[in-house]
Amino acid sequence: MKDLPAKKKGFARIVAAFFYSLSGLRTAFENEAAFRQELLLFFVLLPILFFLPVSGHLKSLLLIVNTIVLIVELLNSGIEAVVDMTAPEYHSLAKRAKDMGSAAVLISLVLAAILWIYAFVKAMSGPGV
C-alpha cells in the first residue's frame, strides 16, 4: 500500500479539496454512462427552465431537483465503486448496497419528473390557475 500524502491545512486544504472534487466530476463523466445521460438531461432542461412561464419559486425547485439527481448519481457511483473494490465476487450485502444506491437515483428521478410534469401543466394552464 502506498504512503498517504501529507495532510494539507488551511487554505491549501480548501484548494486541494476543490481539485479533488473536479477530479471526481471528471471521473464520473468519463466512467459513468448514467451520469453523462443525467448531465445531458440537466443541460437540455436548463434553457427550458428559463423560458417556462412559471413562478420563480417553481423554477428554483426545478433547478434544485435537477441538481439533486446529479448529486445522488455521484453518491451512487461512489457506493458502486467502493462495493466493487471491496467485494469483487457476488455477495448479498454488496447487491443490497448497490440496489439501494440505485433506488435513491430512481427516487430522485421520479421526484424530478413529477415536478417537471407539474410545471408543464401549470405553464399550459395559463395565469391564475
Which is the catalytic residue, given 30, 38, 73, 80? 73
The predicted structure's pLDDT at residue 3: 76
**Catalytic residue status for 89:** no
Q: Per-domain residue ranges for the chain?
A: 33-125
Please state, in angstroms and rounded to a whole number, the distance separating the CA atoms of residues 53 and 48. 10
pTM: 0.87
Give mean pLDDT, residues 28-33: 96
Classify residue 41 by burial, with Cβ atoms within 10 Å: 0-12, 13-18, 19+: middle
Q: Which CATH class is domain 33-125?
A: mainly alpha
Give mean pLDDT, residues 106-116: 98
